[in-house]
Amino acid sequence: MPTLVQKFGGSSVANAERIRRCAERVAAARADGHDVVVVVSAMGDATDDLIELAATVNDQPSKREMDMLMSTGEQVSTAMMAMCLHAMGVDAVSMTGWQLGIRTTSAHRSARILSIDAERMRRELRSGRVVVAAGFQGVTDAGEVTTLGRGGSDTTAVALAAALDVAKQGGMCEIFTDVDGVYTADPRLVPTARKVPQISYEEMLELAALGAGVMHARAVMFGEKYGVPIHVRHSQRPDTGTMIIEENAAMEENPVVGAALKADLGRVSLRRIPNTTGVQGSIFAAFAAANVMVDDIMQTELGDMANISFTVEHSDLADVKIAASKVLEELGKGELAVEIGLAKVSAVGAGMKSHTGVASTMFHALGAAGIPIQNITTSEIKISCIVPKEHGKAALQVVHDAFGLGQAGGGVGSVSKSASGA
């Protein structure tokens, strides 16, 4: 039987009773004959509790020490899970990041996995043990403990699955979480949203970037890079969830797989700046240095001048304004304009590549609903419209309906229909 990597998030292992339920799933997979690696996050609010604890002695704790502190959360979970499995008669051994041979960069709190030495893990699996792996952590070549940043346990799980080459044997990485899969839209905003049975890595990445927070982007990228099938499913329910896999012919039949909303955006415009070669690089380097996440960028030319505008999260606006003012000062020219109260509604689907009329369907539907479109950006598999924030939720519902995402079978029919009318 193929090897399974099963990842349980923090809320799934928040207490003894929940750990027991997760352990039962592990035991069932063992009973079916699978080799199993379990990846666990810190129990419940443990990570937040540790962050609060740190704040009691230092309001700007060093990242290196934060990693030292926070990595204990997952270590506790691994020991608890291993003990729980023992109590059920399942042989198991807990392993920390350094015991797992997870080498990372030295960027504390947001380290990247460089390599995994799976030797010990393979040895433990061969001897019939379940490996209980600490998610979210690794070690540098200098022997320093690192963490991968929030959501890093997903990345650990997919990376371990890649290191063990589970796909070759028909295995996969199961991400157990508190939702039962990927939806055509956030069900809290769109009551008719449906669970998607399968989705491509690329589509999942676009949705993750749009704030559909089922899985972290880095984990999906790892899955794509190493071809690890990822099954996102509910930790307390037996149902099948969503498979994140390579794009296939069936997927291309649906031009749109999901819709997403980013509310609370602001737009920053640098107007009438000198349009010299390389100016864009200098400008966005300044925003990167200020740790601002810049969303869609638009540029228009006016002779030797240019207007550059981009969207950012409201919470980043204060930092952006400071950085932008500095940029203009250095350029010696240009004006700064900031708008708030915007939202972005997007449609995502690998099938867009081979379908026409997707954009017009979306624009028509928004127009028919009386929702003004302030900006449009597109990628190969995504169309996004900036709309006034007060229309955000309605816009999401409109787009969801326009592509028939709430109906069994989804997308195809509605797009053909709309496309013919476009």
Give the burial class of 203: count Cβ atoms within 10 A of its Cβ; 0-12 exposed, 13-18 middle, 19 or more buried: buried
In the complex, what is the shortest distance from the CB of residue 260 to its own copies, in angstroms, rounded to a whole number? 38
Q: Which is nearer to its own copies, 56 or 277 (CB)?
A: 56
Please state the closest distance from residue 94 (CB atom) to its own copies, in A.
Answer: 5
CB of 155 to its own copies, least distance (A): 22
- How near is the Cβ of 127 to its own copies at its closest, in Å? 13
Cβ neighbours of residue 269 under 8 Å, at least 6 residues apart?
A: 307, 308, 309, 336, 337, 338, 339
The footprint of its own copies (CB under 8 A) covers 15-16, 19-20, 50, 53-54, 56-59, 61-62, 64-66, 68-69, 71-72, 75-76, 78-80, 82-84, 86-87, 93-94, 96, 98-99, 120, 143, 145
What sign results for the dihedral spanned by CA atoms 265, 258, 381, 197?
A: positive
**Residue 107, burial from CB neighbour count under 10 angstroms (0-12, 13-18, 19+):** middle
Residue 17 region, left (φ>0) first, then alpha (ψ -120 to 50), else beta? alpha
**By C-beta, is 54 or 298 nearer to its own copies?**
54
Q: CB 309 → its own copies: shortest distance, Å?
A: 41
Amino acid identity at 177? T
- Residue 125 and residue 166 in contact, taking contact as beta carbons nearer than 8 Å: no
Residue 72 or 275 with smaller CB distance to its own copies: 72
Nearer to its own copies, 96 or 307 (CB): 96
The least CB distance from residue 414 to its own copies, in Å, is: 50
**Smallest distance from the beta carbon of 255 to its own copies, in angstroms?**
48
Radius of gyration of the chain (CA): 23
Rounded to the nearest 10 degrees, what angle do helices 63-87 and 46-55 cross at?
Answer: 150
Exposed / middle / buried, residue 369 (Cβ in 10 Å: 0-12, 13-18, 19+): middle
Q: Residue 235 Cβ, how far from its own copies at the closest point, in Å?
A: 17
Q: How many CB atoms lie within 10 A of CB 362?
A: 28
Q: 3-state DSSP call for residue 45?
A: coil
Identify the burial level of 375 via C-beta atoms within 10 angstroms of its C-beta, where 0-12 means exposed, 13-18 middle and 19 or more buried.
Answer: middle
Distance CA 352, CA 290 (A): 35
Measured from the CB atom, the residue of 65 and 319 that comes closer to its own copies is 65
Long-range Cβ contacts of 415-422 (<8 Å, 24+ apart)? 415/255, 415/256, 415/355, 415/357, 415/358, 415/361, 418/357, 418/360, 418/361, 418/364, 418/365, 419/355, 419/356, 419/357, 419/358, 419/360, 419/361, 420/357, 421/364, 422/357, 422/360, 422/361, 422/364
Residue nearer to its own copies on the CB measure, 93 or 204: 93
CB 190 within 8 A of CB 134: no
- Report the nearest approach of its own copies to the CB of residue 3 (Å): 22
Cβ proximity to its own copies: between 72 and 280 the closer is 72
Rounded to a whole number of angstroms, the minimum distance from the CB of residue 109 to its own copies is 13
| Strand, helix or coil for residue 143 | coil
Which of 82/113 has CB closer to its own copies?
A: 82
Taking the least distance from each CB to its own copies, the nearer of 38 and 259 is 38
Shortest gap between Cβ of 68 and its own copies (angstroms)? 4
Q: Kindly tell me which of 15 and 236 has the beta carbon lying closer to its own copies.
A: 15
Q: Which residue, 11 or 280, has its beta carbon nearer to its own copies? A: 11
Is 156:133 a contact under the CB 8 Å cutoff? yes
